[in-house]
């Protein structure tokens, strides 16, 4: 599902939901998200869904928040990759490229695609922070895996 379909589904769920919105945060968020779908409006909409002033009677507001969170995460990565791409195009710096092997045996530099960019962010905390991403979970590097193994290999598993 694309962004627009997810938002439409969430709006449809909220229209059948029983909730109390005393401070009208959710009401304002709905007005904004119906007008325009941007990172900022989705972020504000999620904030409204999770607002402590919204009383979720039937659990549908929480369900909607759970549908919006992955969308916001994807939009965050998209924005970071877009910023990386703009900087790459502006500087065309070798330090921002990957060294790749060609079929003729030679090597060349190439800008990483979005999937590789995500991989770089996942494995390199400094790189991810440079582009505005905070990776809370990531795979261990080879050195981290070895250090973990060496520190925990003497532990005995009780039977």
Instruction: Find the farthest-apart pair of alpha carbons in the chain and give their distance in angstroms, rounded.
Output: 67
Q: Within 13 A of 137's CA, how many CA atoms are on the CB side? A: 0
Q: What is the pTM (predicted TM-score) of this model?
A: 0.63
Nearest CA among 19, 17, 136, 11 for reference residue 67? 11
What are 77-94's pLDDT values in tens digits? Answer: 899 999 888 887 776 665
Q: In angstroms, rounded to a whole number, what is the distance separating the alpha carbons of residues 100 and 58?
A: 53
User: Given pLDDT bands bounded at 50, 70 and 90, which one contains residue 62?
Assistant: very high
Q: Where are the domains of the chain?
A: 3-75, 113-153
| Higher per-residue pLDDT: 100 or 111 | 111
């Amino acid at each position: 599902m694309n962004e627009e379909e997810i938002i439409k589904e969430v709006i449809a769920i909220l229209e059948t939901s029983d909730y109390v919105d005393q401070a009208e945060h959710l009401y304002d968020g709905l007005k904004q998200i119906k007008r325009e779908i941007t990172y900022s409006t989705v972020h504000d909409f999620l904030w409204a869904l999770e607002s402590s002033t919204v009383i979720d009677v039937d659990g549908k507001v929480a369900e909607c928040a759970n549908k919006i969170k992955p969308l916001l995460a994807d939009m965050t990565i998209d924005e970071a990759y877009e910023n990386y791409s703009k900087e790459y195009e502006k500087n065309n710096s070798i330090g921002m490229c990957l060294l790749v092997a060609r079929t003729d045996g030679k090597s060349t530099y190439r800008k990483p695609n979005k999937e590789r960019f995500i991989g770089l962010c996942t494995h390199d905390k400094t790189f991810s922070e440079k582009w505005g991403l905070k990776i809370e979970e990531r795979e261990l590097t080879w050195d981290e895996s070895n250090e973990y193994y060496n520190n925990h290999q003497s532990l005995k598993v009780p039977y």
